[in-house]
Every structure is written in C-alpha cells, then in structure tokens.
Amino acid sequence: MITLFPELFATFAETSMVGRGRENGALELVCHQLREHGLGKHRNVDDTPYGGGSGMVLRVEPIVAALEAVDASALETGKPKARRILLTPQAPRLDQACVRRLAGEAHLALICGRYEGFDERVRSFVDEEISLGDFVMTGGEVAAMALIEATVRLLPNVLGNDGSAASESFSDDLEGGLEYPHYTRPAEFRGLAVPAVLASGDHSKIAAWRREQSRTRTEGGRPDLLRSGKNQ
Ligand SMILES: C[S@@+](CC[C@H](N)C(=O)[O-])C[C@H]1O[C@@H](n2cnc3c(N)ncnc32)[C@H](O)[C@@H]1O
C-alpha cells in the first residue's frame, strides 16, 4: 500500500483472517509512506490545482517515486513486479470476479489517494483503476482494506473451511447469485422459527431448499446478477 496514513493498516494487518494469512505466510502487507517520497525539505506530496478550485491535489512525482521504490524492492527480494492499482471512485467497481482475478496476482501495489485526488498523469503509471463503489470517501485506505480482505480469503490456507468461499454469494456454486439464509440456535426467537427443513436431517432436501432460496433472494434483491451473468 502506498499511503499517507500507514497507521490505519496497523490493527487491520493483525486481525482475523488478514492476521492469520500473514502469520502463515499466505500474504505479506507492506506500507510505503508516500511522504518519504515527498519533495523538498518539507517532503511535500501535494499542491494546488492548475486552473484553480478548492482542495489540494497529490503530485505525480512522489507517487511515481513510491511505485519505483516498490519495484526496486521487489527486484531486490526476488518478488514479481507489482500490478499497480489506483484506488479511485472514477473507475469500474470492485466485484467478486475482480477479487478472484486479483487473488491470482502475486504482488499488488495499491495506491491510496487523499485530498482532491491525484494529478491526472498518475494514471499513466498504473495498470488498473478500481473503485469501491459509487460514493466518495476521504481516502483510498478503506478501499484498499476492502480489496485486501476480499482477496485474502480466497488465498489457499487462509479461510478455515476451504469450502466456505466456494458456496458464498457471487460464487460459481450459486451461479453468481446471493447466498441462501443461515440460522443457528435458538430454534425459535420471538415467534421467528427456523425453517423446519433445516432441522430435518434430509441433506438433499436441504440442498434443494438452499438453491431455491438463493435463486429467490437473487431475483428479489439483485436481479442484475441473474441478467448479466456477472461474477460467474
Ligand atoms: C476525496 S477522494 C477524491 C475524489 C475526487 N475529487 C472525485 O470527485 O472523484 C480522495 C481519494 O479517496 C479515495 N477514494 C474515495 N472514494 C473512493 C472509492 N469509492 N473507491 C476507491 N477509492 C476512493 C481515492 O484514492 C481518492 O483519490
């Protein structure tokens, strides 16, 4: 991650699946402080926009210098060159198909913007641009964490039960649709009962019920997933 706020990743890197993935060597997270590549005595990373307007814009030179530092350290340590990803709301939205593709990459460099965003020329130095969704956040760090968290759980040896990623929402098992409902104890809560089929012990009936629920839920909540065949 190339960021002005590496501290945002500290707890994230230690916790849950990302922490476990780091512990068992499935992934490594490295923060590069963009300011270390800043200009002059004050390590400036931003400037006012040409043409006027409010806010500051991240300069191109520190970002390119940070990317080149990532490449140099990859070369030194024998890692593959990073795929450079710019996090920006002005890009195709992250989805499970994209997550699957990124999980197959050996090395990613995630560029987290701040302020009004980047000098447009940064785009000439990246391989891909990704948005978390159609909303504007203050910085790219949360988008980077979302991308990392979604990707990490697809890496071998990270998710406890290897089957659980295979039958989740957007998976091939569910034809790209939404997952069926889950229940746990108690069998009844304030008049809301667990569907009897789930306690029947009849596994083929349960599987059929789940398929049906997944289909109904997708048709109702996200018909676009059915129509486009997206994520399949
Ligand atoms: C305040 S935003 C800049 C928004 C920009 N001025 C615009 O209108 O498109 C600052 C940074 O946060 C990050 N960011 C904000 N929203 C995002 C999103 N939906 N997906 C990915 N990154 C986002 C980007 O890195 C962006 O450069």
84-122: pLDDT as tens digits: 999 999 999 999 999 999 999 999 999 999 999 999 999
153-212 pLDDT, tens digit each = 999 878 776 557 788 999 999 999 999 999 999 999 999 999 999 999 999 999 999 999
Q: Average pLDDT over the chain, rounded to whole?
A: 95
Q: Please name the residue whose Cα sits nearest to atom 6 of ligand 1.
A: 116
Centre of ligand 1 to C-alpha 117, Å, is 6
Q: What is the pLDDT of residue 227?
A: 65
Is cis: bond before 186, omega within 30 of 0? yes
Q: What is the pLDDT of residue 158?
A: 84
Centre of ligand 1 to C-alpha 42, Å, is 25
In the structure, what pLDDT confidence band is assigned to residue 232 with cuts at 50, 70 and 90? very low
> Between 3.40.50.720, 3.40.1280.10, 3.40.50.1100, 3.30.1330.10, what CATH number should domain 2-152 receive?
3.40.1280.10
Is the minimum distance from the CB of 50 to ligand 1 under 6 angstroms? no
Q: List the beta bridge partners of residue 109.
A: 84
Q: What is the pLDDT of residue 182?
A: 98
Mean predicted confidence (pLDDT) in 16-27: 95
Query: Quick check: 118 and 78 in contact, CB under 8 A?
Result: no
Tell me the one-letter amino acid at 62.
P
* CA distance linking residue 166 with residue 164, whole number of Å: 5
Q: What is the pLDDT of residue 143?
A: 98
Pocket test for ligand 1, best of 4, 118, 136, 138 (most atoms within 8 A of CB): 136
Domain boundaries, the chain: 2-152, 172-228
In the structure, what pLDDT confidence band is assigned to residue 223 with cuts at 50, 70 and 90? very high
Indicate which atom in ligand 1 lies nearest the CA of residue 117.
27
For the entire predicted model, the pTM comes to 0.95
Give the per-residue SS3 of the chain.
CEECCHHHHHHHHHCHHHHHHHHCCCCCCCCEEHHHHCECCCCECEECCCCCCCCCEECHHHHHHHHHHHHHHHHHHCCCCCEEEEECCCCCECCHHHHHHHHCCCCEEEEECCCCCECHHHHHHCCEEEECCCCCCCCCHHHHHHHHHHHHCCCCCCCCCCCCCCCCCCCHHHCCCCCCCCCCCCCEECCEECCHHHHCCCHHHHHHHHHHHHHHHHHHHCHHHHHHCCCC
Q: List the beta bridge partners of residue 108.
A: 83
Is the minimum distance from the CB of 126 to ligand 1 under 6 angstroms? no
In the structure, what pLDDT confidence band is assigned to residue 228 with cuts at 50, 70 and 90? low
Angle between helix axes 141-152 and 16-23 (nearest 10 degrees) is: 60
Regarding the domain delimited by 172-228, which CATH topology (the fold level of the hierarchy) does it fall under?
Trp Operon Repressor; Chain A (1.10.1270)
Is the minimum distance from the CB of 110 to ligand 1 under 6 angstroms? no
